[in-house]
């Protein structure tokens, strides 16, 4: 296994694990105990990786980076939505 494949697998597994955060946020419908800024930062880093990995011809890592960015972006959108609408259901 080459380093690109290993990194790509780590990134894909990371995206899979991060879906737990989405599932929990959809269940709770409220953002408590976490701050949105770290995920925004890592989403930005993931966007950078979408440029960086292809420049290194690391296509497995690029696929994993797409997965990470999508999952983090979905979580951020849900976090913003539920933060702004936390009083709407009360």
Residue 88 has pLDDT above 90, yes or no: no
Total tally of structural domains belonging to the chain: 1
**10 in any annotated domain:** yes
**89 in any annotated domain:** no
**74 in any annotated domain:** yes
**90 in any annotated domain:** no
- Closest by CA to 50, choosing from 38, 37, 61, 34, is 61
- Closest by CA to 57, choosing from 14, 1, 2, 19, is 2
- This prediction has a pTM of 0.89
Q: Note the pLDDT tens digit of each residue in 13-46.
A: 999 999 999 999 999 999 888 899 999 999 999 9
**20 in any annotated domain:** yes
Cα separation values, 26 from 4, 55, 61, 68, 82, Å: 33, 36, 28, 18, 9
**30 in any annotated domain:** yes
Q: Which domain holds residue 49?
A: 3-84
Residue 70 has pLDDT above 70, yes or no: yes
User: Where residue 27 sits, what CATH number does that domain have?
Assistant: 1.20.1280
**49 in any annotated domain:** yes
pLDDT at 89: 52
- Closest by CA to 34, choosing from 79, 77, 81, is 79
């Amino acid at each position: 296994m080459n380093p690109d494949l290993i990194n790509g697998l780590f990134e894909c597994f990371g995206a899979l694990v991060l879906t737990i955060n989405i599932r929990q946020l959809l269940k709770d419908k409220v953002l408590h105990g976490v701050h949105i800024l770290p995920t925004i930062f890592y989403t930005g880093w993931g966007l950078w990786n979408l440029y960086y990995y292809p420049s290194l011809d690391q296509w497995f890592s690029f696929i994993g980076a797409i997965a990470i960015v999508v999952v983090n972006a979905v979580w951020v959108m849900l976090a913003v939505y539920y933060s702004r609408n936390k009083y709407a259901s009360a």
